[in-house]
Amino acid sequence: ANQPWCLERAIKVVHECEGYVVIDKPDNVRMDVPRTKSHKYDRELTVADWFKRRCPSSDKVRPCHQLDHATSGVLVMGKTKEATGRCAVLFSQRKARKQYLALVYGHP
């Protein structure tokens, strides 16, 4: 296609309930755009922009944890301050955790 790769990316919902939306974040999609920077393209996809459109009643974008720009994977977003806090506690107490799998091409 003749458009930036980020316009062809889609964020898929893995699970959604009253307090959370769990997504499959594609690689090379930023969580948000720092205040001192701007989008690379007018329609650059960020998790924050997607969440604002998906959950307009939420007063703030509330990721329960972070994934690096280059990392793909499951990301939990809280719809409320309380839900986000509960999930953050689970991560801090190691009752919830992230596990990474690296696929390497070209090196033994």
The proportion of the chain whose per-residue pLDDT surpasses 90, expressed as a percent, equals: 35
Query: Domains of the chain (ranges plus CATH)?
Result: 5-92 (3.30.2350.10)
Asked if the model's pLDDT at residue 1 lies above 50, the reply is no
- Give the model's pLDDT for residue 100: 82
Global pTM value: 0.77
Query: Measured between alpha carbons, how far is 93 from 43 in angstroms, rounded to an integer?
Result: 37
Token code pair at residue 48: 């924050």
- In this structure, the number of other CB atoms found within 10 A of the CB of residue 72 comes to 13
Identify residue 78 by its one-letter amino acid code.
Answer: G
User: pLDDT by residue (tens digit) across 2-56?
Assistant: 555 555 668 999 999 999 999 999 988 888 866 556 656 556 678 988 898 899 8
Least confident of 66-70, 89-93, 103-107: 103-107
